[in-house]
Amino acid sequence: MAPKWKSSVISSSPPSADQDSQSVWIPCSGWYGLCFHVKYKCDCVYAAHETSKEDDKALLTLPHRVGRDIISSLEIGTLIYLRQSANVTVSLKTCCDQHNDQDPSCEWCLFLQCEGKREEYSTKKTLICAECCRMFASMNSVENHIGALHKVVDPNSIWKKPLKVVYEDEFMAVIDKPQGMTVMGDKPSLFRSDLLLALTGNGKDSMAKPVYVHRLDAATGGLLVLAKTKAAEIQLKSCFASRSCRKTYLALALGRIEPEVGTIEEAISGKPATTHYKVVQYYRCVDDMADGGWVTLVDLHPVTGRNHQLRRHLKHIGHPIWGDKKYAPYRKRKVGSDDNVDRADVVNSTSVEQDPHCRLCLWSVEITFPHPETEDDLTVSLGDRPEWLACLLAYQEKRVKEEEKT
């Protein structure tokens, strides 16, 4: 299967006339950025190679997917140093199911960013690590940083998968934040990643990158509100600070919570904290950590917003949340001795059968707040139950039936 190509080089001298239509001849040594676009949105994977090299190691794996868009290496700060007379080619690495019977189509081109030797590229911090968006002054610094912090970048990593957008307009967006993904911090986080670039607005007041207006714990999944403009950011942050928004969380708690409707009022760090709850359903469970052989699916409505409020309150009434490593008993699973293993990826790659307690069973499933522009109440819901919760409940039901047979 031969892909269809259209390629060109923007540089001080044109490529040779007899070059292969699938490769680009490099007229001068320098730093190049690669722009890559596919005609149809699909899951095909391509690889860029330098044909003069003896090894088959790819320079880049393409395309770079961010949200619903495909962006170039230039946009995420990935540059390649190529020597004069080298040849670069892009070949199909993995074909998706959609294109098993037809040729995928793509376009790509190399842009010369700067001529000169490797160490002469930059005197300022103009190079950006595409994984965590830290800036560096030289490519050697970037390489050392990647080797230490992002030694291996799995193409299936949580940081490479597009975000699920639940609601979006020109002022704001609401995404479904994956479990394990940190919202902010010095380590890899959503705010420091390039995942939010796909949600950047087009208006004159739009910020370079959307910003979060409230927080979710890394272990908690579900709805996270983002502002696209500075005015929307101010309005939304004020809304959350004044508690004029209403949030609903879904949790799976250990044991059988009774009564089915109630209020938990327990101070946290000396400050008053209130949570209303309503039982959704009880489930039989044979897991050792299930108190009395029961677990409870429960809706939680926090009135205040204290640190770890929901997790602390459920522990206070004797029903900690399933998978809570801080406030509930937990069998720690060894993930290997590699310090570069991303904990978010471990969480999202582990199956229910491997470790049923590897995820915190807590999700933000519904949120209501005044729209930053119209000021009308806007309600955004997650929709279906989280996939992990559905798998976990199905797994426990299977185990209960097996126990009954024996």
| Domain ranges across the chain | 9-116, 164-405
Say whether 69 is catalytic: no
Q: Do the strands 135-136 and 127-128 form a parallel or antiparallel pair, or are they unpaired?
A: antiparallel
What's the pLDDT score for residue 8?
41
**Which range among 15-24, 224-233, 244-253 shows the weakest confidence by mean pLDDT?**
15-24
CATH (residue range 9-116): 2.60.120.40
Residues 211/192, Cβ–Cβ less than 8 Å:
no
Q: What is residue 316's three-state secondary structure?
A: helix
User: Is residue 346 within a helix (H) or strand (E), and if so which, with residue range?
Assistant: helix 343-349
Q: What is residue 317's three-state secondary structure?
A: coil
Of 69, 169, 217, 287, which is the active-site residue?
A: 217
- For tokens 């720690």, name the residue: 332
Tens digit of each residue's pLDDT (9 = 90 or more) over 275-328: 999 999 999 999 988 888 999 999 999 999 999 999 999 999 999 999 998 898
Tens digit of each residue's pLDDT (9 = 90 or more) over 7-44: 444 433 333 334 334 677 777 777 777 777 776 667 77
What token pair was written down for 20?
């292969």
Which CATH number is correct for 164-405, 3.30.2350.10, 3.50.50.100, 1.10.10.10, 3.40.50.1970? 3.30.2350.10
What token pair was written down for 284?
């039989």
Q: How confident is the model at residue 378 (pLDDT cuts 50, 70, 90)?
A: very high
State the number of CA atoms in the 13 A half-sphere of 291 facing the CB. 16
Q: Which residue has the higher pLDDT, 36 or 3?
A: 36
Provide φ and ψ at 223, rounded to 5°.
Answer: -75, 130
Could you give the CA distance from residue 114 to residue 122 in angstroms, rounded to a whole number? 9
Start-to-end C-alpha separation, the chain: 54
What token pair was written down for 323?
């998978």
Could you give the CA distance from residue 385 to residue 383 in angstroms, rounded to a whole number? 7
What token pair was written down for 91?
């070949």
Tens digit of each residue's pLDDT (9 = 90 or more) over 52-66: 666 667 777 777 665
Tens digit of each residue's pLDDT (9 = 90 or more) over 96-105: 777 665 666 6
Handedness of CA 11, 44, 354, 180 (dihedral sign): positive
